[in-house]
Amino acid sequence: MLTNIKLAFLADGESVHTKRWLTYFVSKGYDVHLITSTSNPIKGVKIHELRFPLARKSYFYAHISFFLRVWKIRKIVKEINPDILHAHYAINYGLCGALINFHPFVVSAWGSDIISSHHIKKILLRFVMKKADIVDGFSLREQLINLGCNSNKIVPYSWGVDTSVFSPVKKDFQINYSVISARFWELRYCVDIFIRAMPLVLRRVKNVRFVILGGGALEKKLKELSKKLGVYELILWIGKVPEEEMSRYLANADICVDTFPRHVGIGQTVKQAMSCGIPCVITKDKDKTSFPCMLYEQRDYHSLAKKITILLKNEEYRKFVGIASRIHVLRFFDWKKNMKVWEKVYYNLTGG
């Protein structure tokens, strides 16, 4: 494999997923550049910071300065002169990359970026999919095709998990967290559904401990809700957890719950929990891809409580689902295997 390929990424420099992706290619000897509005040092990566904020930090200024940001990105890309430009997140950095008309151009769809009923956003996403030479988003395949993406552009591998870090061997048998949730405490993630399900679970199963990771703006409201329902003292409120500590929390749970109303695929934290051999309870969707997880109706805490209860009361079945989850991750979501596929993709794009 060639190691003198020059890669330029358009991505969120604060994201652990960005750091992990770029660090891999640095370790393989690639010349890696990151163009970003959120600059954090990443060992071995040459950072090109944009002086324009993302919408999540300054909504108004981010929008009125959009075309200035595109002009700046075009200028930086010209200076770098990369072999490949890869944008992570289709509707923000992906749109910027599409507008500068550089090729080969790769786009990674993260999920929330392509799920929208907004007509203008769909038009912009169609434009990005048309401009991209390769699209990363296999678990979002159906949605991408609906946006006009040529199915041949979609790399048939999804984001992976480091199965040596997220592993059943991380379990400490002196710790038992029982049921864990790791979504941010924001409205769209519906963490309140998990809290509302707790009293129903406790009616059927005693001595259950609940753990909530994530942190966020709804902390006060969620804690007030838990007090109202009489479960506040049974919850371990952890908040935001560094990536390097996630395996410890997930591996020591009996069940992992995902409250996000899925449209397709599964989240990265669910994959990590599955890799630890932990059975997961996730929302139903229209996705045709099957996962060895228990499914409950979206935003229905009665349905969620029922599935949690089934797993807690049946240890043999819980272990079976956990083992099946680990096997599934090793087959489809192994980080090291999938990144080797991406090395081949980059190599082929440069004419190898």
Predicted confidence at residue 288, as pLDDT, reads 56
Q: Quick check: 322 and 250 in contact, CB under 8 A?
A: no
197 and 156 assigned to the same domain:
no
Beta strands in 18-67 (DSSP E): 31-36, 46-49
Specify burial of residue 319 (Cβ count, 10 A radius: 0-12, 13-18, 19+). middle
109 and 120 assigned to the same domain:
yes
Predicted confidence at residue 55, as pLDDT, reads 47
* C-alpha span between 153 and 106 (Å, rounded): 9
What is the mean pLDDT of the segment spanning 253-277? Answer: 91
82 and 202 assigned to the same domain:
no
Q: Quick check: 18 and 34 in contact, CB under 8 A?
A: yes
Quote the distance between the C-alpha of residue 344 and its chain's center.
23
Altogether, the residues listed in the chain come to a count of 352
* C-alpha span between 270 and 258 (Å, rounded): 7
The enclosing domain of 123 has a CATH number of 3.40.50.2000
Predicted confidence at residue 4, as pLDDT, reads 76
pLDDT digits (tens, 9 = 90+) for 112-122: 777 766 778 88
Q: How many CB atoms lie within 10 A of CB 53?
A: 16
Predicted confidence at residue 23, as pLDDT, reads 94
Closest of 81, 123, 130 to residue 107, by C-alpha: 130
234 and 113 assigned to the same domain:
no
CB within 8 Å of 74: residues ≥ 6 apart = 100
What's the domain range around 108? Answer: 6-160+334-349
Beta strands in 258-304 (DSSP E): 280-283, 294-296
pLDDT digits (tens, 9 = 90+) for 13-67: 988 889 999 999 999 999 999 999 887 889 999 999 987 655 445 444 556 678 8
Specify burial of residue 52 (Cβ count, 10 A radius: 0-12, 13-18, 19+). middle
299 and 343 assigned to the same domain:
no
pLDDT digits (tens, 9 = 90+) for 116-145: 667 788 899 999 999 999 998 877 788 888
- Structurally, how many domains does the chain consist of? 2
What is the mean pLDDT of the segment spanning 147-162? Answer: 87
Per 3-state DSSP, the chain is made up of helix, strand and coil in percentages (nearest 5) of 45, 15, 40
In a domain, residue 289? The reply is yes
In a domain, residue 1? The reply is no
136 and 186 assigned to the same domain:
no
What is the mean pLDDT of the segment spanning 176-181? Answer: 91
Q: What are phi and psi of 31, to 5 degrees?
A: -85, 105
* C-alpha span between 73 and 11 (Å, rounded): 12
Higher pLDDT, 312 or 63: 312
Could you tell me the sign of the dihedral formed by the alpha carbons of 9, 22, 11, 334, in that order?
positive
65 and 81 assigned to the same domain:
yes
Q: What are phi and psi of 74, to 5 degrees?
A: -60, -45
Q: What is the pTM of this model?
A: 0.83
* C-alpha span between 262 and 285 (Å, rounded): 6
Specify burial of residue 58 (Cβ count, 10 A radius: 0-12, 13-18, 19+). middle
* C-alpha span between 240 and 132 (Å, rounded): 34
In a domain, residue 153? The reply is yes
pLDDT digits (tens, 9 = 90+) for 316-343: 999 999 999 999 999 989 998 999 999 9
pLDDT of 287 above 80: no
Q: Are strands 235-239 and 255-257 parallel, antiparallel or unpaired?
A: unpaired
Predicted confidence at residue 286, as pLDDT, reads 67
Predicted confidence at residue 2, as pLDDT, reads 53
What is the mean pLDDT of the segment spanning 277-304? Answer: 89
Q: How confident is the model at residue 177 (pLDDT cuts 50, 70, 90)?
A: confident
pLDDT of 235 above 60: yes
pLDDT digits (tens, 9 = 90+) for 187-220: 989 999 999 999 999 999 999 999 999 999 999 9
Q: Quick check: 15 and 44 in contact, CB under 8 A?
A: no
* % of the chain with per-residue pLDDT over 90: 70
327 and 338 assigned to the same domain:
no
Higher pLDDT, 4 or 1: 4
Tracing tokens 């929990």 back to the chain, one arrives at: 273
In a domain, residue 37? The reply is yes
135 and 191 assigned to the same domain:
no
115 and 221 assigned to the same domain:
no
180 and 99 assigned to the same domain:
no
Which residues sit opposite 36 in a β-bridge?
49
130 and 153 assigned to the same domain:
yes
* C-alpha span between 59 and 108 (Å, rounded): 23
